[in-house]
Amino acid sequence: MFNRDKIANMLRQLRKERKLTQQTLEIVTGIDRTTISAYENGTREPTIHNIIILADYFQISLDTITCRTSKIYVNVTDISEVSLQKIHQIILKDEIKKGKYENR
């Protein structure tokens, strides 16, 4: 169903970027540490239930966590207006640098 190796790398990357141990991830998600380890080692395929829990925790889309897209979508629902403006500025600068920005 999923590509275990890609998901393993994605989960490990997400966890390490946030400086979390597998034990901490177990505490915040309720997914057993040994299960998380098996997912990260690619020896076990995540259940859809656990994929949803992990995507929600990391605030990314199911397509991103399952490596169905190389684009990363971030849930900004609970982000302040100031933070949203900063994110928009970063994206705009990047688009201008890449020549993709069109004045609308």
Which residues are registered as beta bridge partners of 60?
74
Average pLDDT over residues 66-73: 73
Choice between 47 and 2, residue whose per-residue pLDDT is larger: 47
pLDDT value for 28: 96
Cα–Cα dist 82/88, whole Å: 10
Whether the per-residue pLDDT at 60 is higher than 60: the answer is yes
25 close to 33: Cβ distance less than 8 angstroms: yes
Mean pLDDT, the chain, rounded, equals 86
Coil, strand or helix: which one is 60? strand
Whether the per-residue pLDDT at 75 is higher than 80: the answer is no
